Amino acid sequence: MVVIGKDRLHFDFDRNLPPAARVNPGSEVVFETLDACHGRVRSVDQFREYRSSAVRSNPMAGPVFIEGAKPGQTLTVDILRIELDTEGFQLIGPNRAIIRDEVPEWTCYTFRIEEDRAVFPNGLSVPVDPVIGQFGTAPAGEPTSCPNLLGGNIDCPFVREGAKLYIPVEVEGALFSLGDVHARQGDGEVVGAPEIGARVTVRLDLSPIRMAEGFLIEDAEMWHSCRAAENEGEAARQAVFQNARFIERTHGATFHDALILLTLIGRLTVSRTAKWGAHNPVVCSSFSKTMAAEALRGYRALQDHGA
């Protein structure tokens, strides 16, 4: 098994980066990641020192070159395991996510992982449910870490163990990277997530399914489309349209009927609210695979009979 160590870290999805490894389709790869602040923040003083430095946040491991991956194809990423480090940190303070001056002072908690729970020094304890905050393939254009059609800093809580990512390929080899693991995250990441290092095991493969509208997330029950925009309303509009076009393409429904289906069975959740520097809010449109198949059964029958 290929292991991408913490010595192969970078910050942008960039077609000019030398690969950390080259693998064949179907290979399992382990990405060893640092937390968002490189393991250097466990107190408010350390956070202030870190912010005054020139070090960028959210390092990623990789990139991995997948042999045979060509522009126009789709990379599939099965998230097999996420093994968390023993401790991480949680920040809250002014001008962070939804907060302006409602919380005037910074607090930094160091939390521990104990028996699959994140235990905080203030007495909070919650089950871990790890999330991969940043992932994607390299764009054919300029390097970026912002949310885009190939991935980026998405912070979507559906990107967890058991999920499968479908990501467009724009450059030879795809050049896949990931990082920014959260021990757990609720919808919206309203004040920032519990940041932690991890070992993430994935299976990288190629799929004939073309992701014309951008990456998609699949789990056992749902399809999810994530989009970022200047505000949550526009992000929601784009995410719903992406799912509607996916239903149109895969189930033979018209675009407007797919939109009607999504207003009947779809869900909208905010993955990350507010702006984080250059990173816009992210909204996720989701729908049940089972409910869509049931709803469209009679629809397809009518179409087949020319109704």
Phi, psi of 46, deg, nearest 5: -65, -35
125-127 and 74-92 strand pairing: unpaired
Long-range contacts of 110-114 (CB under 8 A, 24+ apart): 110/42, 110/43, 111/87, 111/183, 111/194, 112/86, 112/87, 113/84, 113/85, 113/86, 113/87, 113/88, 113/183, 113/196
The one-letter amino acid at 15: R
Specify the 3-state DSSP secondary structure of 118.
strand
Would you state the structure tokens that stand for residue 148, as one six-digit string? 């885009």
Neighbours of 96 (CB within 10 A): 16
Residues 6+ apart with CB under 8 A from 168: 72, 74, 75, 137, 149, 150, 210, 211, 214, 215
Burial 215-236 (b: 16+ CB within 10 A, else e): bbbbbeebbbbbbbbeebeebb
pLDDT of residue 271: 98
In the chain, the domains with their CATH numbers are 2-216 (2.60.120.580), 221-304 (3.10.28.20)
By the 8 A CB rule, do 63 and 38 touch? no
Q: How far apart are CA 30 and CA 173, in angstroms?
A: 18
pLDDT of residue 278: 86
Specify the 3-state DSSP secondary structure of 111.
strand
Phi, psi of 139, deg, nearest 5: -80, 155
By the 8 A CB rule, do 47 and 106 touch? yes
CA angle 222, 164, 239 (to 5 degrees): 55
pLDDT of residue 277: 84
**Positions in the chain short of pLDDT 50:** 307
131 burial via Cβ count (<10 Å: 0-12, 13-18, 19+): buried
pLDDT of residue 298: 79
pLDDT of residue 108: 98
Q: How far apart are CA 258 and CA 73, in angstroms?
A: 25
